[in-house]
Amino acid sequence: MLKVEEDVSFIGISELRKETPTLLKELRQGRVILTRRNKPVGVIINYSEYEHMKNLMERVEDMILGYTAKIRTDSKKKKYISLEEAERRVGLK
């Protein structure tokens, strides 16, 4: 296991089984990045950090849905014409 920052460590997948106690200790301090052949393939985070990220994602989704609903509500105030009326106005019918 290689510590690259105060709260980030790298561990090879092959080391995972034999380094489990060390891995769990590192999770208390931050993230552990899984590597295969020295390339990142995944991240393990502690549960409280996961919960925090999940809550942030839910807030962002709620904001996006609220914004989308507002746009749709505002667009209903606009006057629309039917396809037949549009064709009549441009001289197609």
CATH code, domain carrying 25: 3.40.1620
In terms of residue numbers, what domain contains 23?
2-45
57 and 69 co-located in one domain: yes
56 and 41 co-located in one domain: no
Query: Mean pLDDT, 10 residues at a time, over the chain (93 residues)?
Result: 71 80 83 85 88 94 91 72 87 82
63 and 91 co-located in one domain: yes
53 and 41 co-located in one domain: no
pTM of the model: 0.57
90 and 56 co-located in one domain: yes
20 and 52 co-located in one domain: no
User: How far is it, in rounded angstroms, from Cα 73 to Cα 40?
Assistant: 45
